[in-house]
Structure 1
Amino acid sequence: MSRHVSVLLPFVPVRAEQAAPFGAFVQWRGAHALWQGQGSSVEQHQIFTQLSGMGMRVPFGIGVSLMPLRHPLLAALEARTVAAASGHPVVAGFGPGARSFQAATLGEPYASPLTASREYLTLVRALLRGGEIDQQGTYFSYTGSLPQVAAPGVEIGLGVLRPGMARLAGETADVAITWLTPPGYVRDVLVPALREGAEAAGRPMPRVVTFVATAAAADGRDLVPTLAQGSSGHFEGPHYRDMLQRAGVRVRDADHDDIARGLLRTGGMLAGDADEIGAGVAAFHDAGVDEVVLNCAGVALRWGPRAVLADLDLLFADNAW
């Protein structure tokens, strides 16, 4: 198992030069990759392509693109474009999103998110592999091919919170991508389901990438509200709330600060000095996580991107990960 540590771009940039200091950090300070989530202000693949054109050719990951926004043909093309521009393999993660988002974009939610995800990942993989395709699915269909070009590979990821999606990731994905999942929940719930799905399909278990909300200690910082602010949108998602309840974090009748405290208690969020955060990262690796992505969005919202870079510089200087 690999034991990588990566960085999430902790804000949505409007221009690529705003993201450039984080690309430079990954390039020069030993982080494994730079990640983004789904963008709603600026399209995330284009930011990575622009960074590559600026000379910051580092491994990139998308965790995750929301399936209702793009056909699998466009998804495969966008991911391969980033790989070609950067010169590195890319992780292209996908997920169905919340039911409310599915209804807002499609008119109604997927009757079966698992079926939709299976069809989506199967079609993206077939397109990237090359050759003629004729897939007629309930949600996603395509007849044709994607012209092949010389480019590094694309790892196909699936967003995973609960056992059903984990088993599907084991069957179909190269990477299982989790957010806000405490290490004990990853070890005891998600990894067994991933292994079960992989064994049923006769393939290797996907590697696990976990995004971990992180706030380093500094004078004047109240870390619990900082962490809560950075993850407030996730705290409201029914699928996240269900996962957190399963993981032993009280969400019913709990405010956002209470949820953050529960995640700190279970190791699902990290706060403190470099040694404390380093120990938390090690706990994820010991639980079966191959790549921990430090998500400092709360610090960025309260103190700005420069504060995040200063924190990351200290964390990477003081930890061998």
Structure 2
Amino acid sequence: MTLGVALSATASENQIDTTVDLAREAAAAGLRSAWFGQTFGADSPQLAAIVGREVPGLQVGTSAIPVFGRHPLIVSSQAQTAQAATHGRYHLGLALGTKPLTETGFGIPYERPIARLREFLTALRQLTEEGTADFHGELITASTPLPARVPGAEGGVPLLVAAMGPQALRASGELADGILPYLAGPRALAEHIVPAVTAAAEAAGRPAPRIVALVHGVVTDDPGGARALATEQLAFYEQFPSYARVIELSGARRAGDVAVIGDEKEVAEEVRRYRDAGATEVVFSGTDLAGEPNRRRTWRLLGELAAG
């Protein structure tokens, strides 16, 4: 099972330089992948391309670009460029986004998100695999009067979706290569998420989907203090029905309850639980939750688990 980390350096003097330094440290610790979020700041595919060039061998990915406020033609250009820059080590994650951020940030209505996701994935698949598209849907049109191929990205780009709800999982199983669930504990994965997306992929005649579980966690000798911080930091997600549902399905009451926090033995056991629940990859986020020494301690453990 691949183990990786989500990198964020938004509080640094230069986000790009610091992110590259962190990626080098992650690779030296034995971690296999580095993932980058997408909000209104740094462009995640471009950041992944830079890191992938600077840190050879490290898999890089975006988790995740919302489909609202973007167009498949533009996202395809970004993703193919990152794929060529990294010689095939880039993975593109997409997301539905949220109604408040979509309507406040872009000034567009958050309507029919699943239909938009389906059309986005269909058009994007054509573009990344064939370098051309002639797609005319209800919500999205993607046509290429000029070539859309990026030389060096001929192998295509793995398409993943931050899916957790039944409809999003069905669409992802049918049209994507895998999923990127966040704040979904092993119970939710094993009983709800993995069976749903796997069944959809099988029905569509597609390969078994990748299950890249994003886990908020850290190794520390002060689990109570770290848990309190995680509960405070993650409370933002509890207002959204999709996250509230998956937190409940995980057997938890608060988002912070799903975080993986403890000593090396406890965290290693939780990683194994995710594996047993069907995760093909586990990516830790929030590893700086309890300070730099504990972040390095966490990365050291994850590197050892990846090697073993």
**TM-score above 0.5, yes or no:** yes
Pick which of 240-249 and 123-132 moved more. Answer: 240-249
Residue 28 of structure 2 corresponds to: 28
Note closer, same or farther for the CA distance 1:114–1:316 as it changes in structure 2 (3 Å cut).
same
* Residue among 237, 241, 257 paired with 1:238: 241
* Distance in structure 2 (CA, Å) of the matches to 1:147 and 1:153: 10
Residue 303 of structure 1 corresponds to: 291
Deviation at 1:219, TM superposition (A): 5.7
* Distance in structure 2 (CA, Å) of the matches to 1:122 and 1:91: 17
* Distance in structure 1 (CA, Å) of the matches to 2:104 and 2:25: 37
* Residue among 174, 198, 223 paired with 1:171: 174
The answer to whether the aligner puts 1:280 opposite 2:282 as a matched pair is no
Contact 1:281 1:292 in 2 (8 A): yes
Q: What secondary structure is seen at the aligned counterpart in 1 of 2:200?
A: helix
Q: What secondary structure is seen at the aligned counterpart in 2 of 1:42?
A: coil
Letter in 1 for 2:46: Q
* Distance in structure 2 (CA, Å) of the matches to 1:240 and 1:149: 39
Superposition map of 1:255-274 within 5 A: 258-261=254-257, 263=258, 269-274=259-264
Note closer, same or farther for the CA distance 1:160–1:293 as it changes in structure 2 (3 Å cut).
same
Residue 9 of structure 1 corresponds to: 7
Deviation at 1:169, TM superposition (A): 0.8
Residue 51 of structure 1 corresponds to: 51
* Distance in structure 2 (CA, Å) of the matches to 1:309 and 1:40: 28
Letter in 2 for 1:231: L
Residue 80 of structure 1 corresponds to: 80
Note closer, same or farther for the CA distance 1:297–1:70 as it changes in structure 2 (3 Å cut).
farther
Q: What secondary structure is seen at the aligned counterpart in 2 of 1:68?
A: coil
The answer to whether the aligner puts 1:212 opposite 2:215 as a matched pair is yes
Note closer, same or farther for the CA distance 1:298–1:239 as it changes in structure 2 (3 Å cut).
farther
* Distance in structure 2 (CA, Å) of the matches to 1:319 and 1:56: 18
How many pairs does the alignment contain? 303
User: Percent sequence identity over matched residues?
Assistant: 24
Q: What secondary structure is seen at the aligned counterpart in 1 of 2:190?
A: helix
Contact 1:215 1:226 in 2 (8 A): no
* Distance in structure 1 (CA, Å) of the matches to 2:9 and 2:287: 6
Letter in 1 for 2:192: V
Deviation at 1:234, TM superposition (A): 2.1
Residue 316 of structure 1 corresponds to: 303
Note closer, same or farther for the CA distance 1:99–1:166 as it changes in structure 2 (3 Å cut).
same
Contact 1:133 1:143 in 2 (8 A): yes
* Distance in structure 2 (CA, Å) of the matches to 1:9 and 1:55: 14
Deviation at 1:156, TM superposition (A): 0.4
* Distance in structure 1 (CA, Å) of the matches to 2:251 and 2:4: 26
Note closer, same or farther for the CA distance 1:309–1:69 as it changes in structure 2 (3 Å cut).
farther
The answer to whether the aligner puts 1:158 opposite 2:161 as a matched pair is yes
Offset from partner CA, 1:200-243 (integer Å, 9 cap, x none):
21111211001001021136971212222442332332321133
Letter in 1 for 2:2: H
* Distance in structure 2 (CA, Å) of the matches to 1:309 and 1:214: 12
Contact 1:11 1:297 in 2 (8 A): no
* Distance in structure 2 (CA, Å) of the matches to 1:105 and 1:219: 38
Residue 253 of structure 1 corresponds to: none
Superposition map of 1:31-110 within 5 A: 31-56=31-56, 58-110=58-110
Offset from partner CA, 1:100-145 (integer Å, 9 cap, x none):
2232245443432111001111111100112542211222211114
Task: Give ranges in structure 2 of 5+ residues lacking alignment.
Answer: none
Deviation at 1:278, TM superposition (A): 0.6
* Distance in structure 2 (CA, Å) of the matches to 1:108 and 1:318: 44
Deviation at 1:35, TM superposition (A): 0.4
Contact 2:3 2:303 in 1 (8 A): no
The answer to whether the aligner puts 1:147 opposite 2:144 as a matched pair is no
Contact 1:230 1:298 in 2 (8 A): no
